[in-house]
A and B are shown apart, each in its own frame.
Chain A
Amino acid sequence: MNDEQSFYDVDRVIHEPARLLISTILYTADQADFLYLLNATGLTKGNLSAHLSKLESAQYITIEKVFRGKVPQTICQLTEQGREAFETYRKQMNRLLRSN
């Protein structure tokens, strides 16, 4: 497979910078809530919600609503499929960067 082809094969769901950032955080930590992701990514609430929905649609993350006392909390977690997709993306990008 040539480099150009390999670049086009990169997972576009993860390749987008905000989603790559979210995926990296969730890959390192097992779970993170909306508040942490908001602080860590610097995105707006709407933007973060949109990116989380995209990742959820691709079945890369699960989103669970729980209550901390009376305050609702949104917990995000990378699925096994998401973990594999992130690892594949990372390998592909490393290979591409090495070949350039």
Chain B
Amino acid sequence: MTEIQIDINEVMRNTRRYWYIDGIPEIAGGIIIIAIALSYMLIYQIENQMTKNLLLGFGQPALILLTSFFAGKLVTMCKQKITYPRTGLIKFRKGKTNKQIQRIFLVILIAAAVSAFVSFFASMISERFLPVLGSFFLGAYSWYLGYFNGVRRFYIVAGSIVIFGGIISWLNLGGGYPYIILLIGIGLIWIVAGGWTLASYLRQTQPISEEI
């Protein structure tokens, strides 16, 4: 047997974790969430119900896809400028088109299941507690990301999201504003976590300018 024991699963997790080493993906994620919140806020102001429904049904998903596309490009560009010259390049394998389509359907299915689950609970509890319930699901997703990729700070992000949701529920604001504030708050939590990580990454690393 080998003299040095190599935990393959741990090495794989460390490799995946490298994507989050600089905090850039979290900042991009936070920007997307805030864009969703702002678009929801704008739609909420519209009085014509038909226009509102159309924008919620088509405009918002289109905006999410568009923001995600540009955020992805921005992340790649930032990583090329900041991360790769300092600690090296990693490019992850892109799935085949069939698998990507399957994944999109899976995400839609999970989103529908979560939505049905939330609606089921929503009918059982007071509207006041919906923000904390929503934050619980978003916090659980952050926790899962942290576990899967071995990024411990995501657990803190998850906890912060649930606490923030709890505060929103406690404040008991009326109308659609609790959800807008909740999304803006979650976006800011991700941006702060990413910004903190980026600052410490820049402090600890230097770009390599010569051939190695």
Contact = CB atoms under 8 A, between A and B. Distances in A.
B96 to A, nearest CB: 13
Interface residues of B, number: 26
B205 to A, nearest CB: 10
B211 A72 contact: yes
Interface residues of A, number: 28
A80 B6 CA distance: 23
Nearest to B15: A28
A98 interface: no
Given A15-B2, A17-B2, A36-B18, A24 B89 contact: no
Contacts, number: 79
A29 B93 contact: yes
B15 A37 contact: no
A16 B3 CA distance: 9
A20 B18 CA distance: 19
Interface in A33-47: 33-40, 45
B8 A39 contact: no
Interface string B170-210: 00000000000000000000000000000000000000111
A4 interface: no
Given A68-B84, A71-B85, 8 more contacts: A20-B6, A21-B11, A31-B89, A32-B90, A35-B84, A36-B89, A71-B210, A90-B8
Interface of B: 2-4, 6, 8, 11-12, 14-16, 18, 84-85, 87-94, 208-212
5 contacts: A24-B6, A25-B15, A32-B89, A33-B84, A36-B87
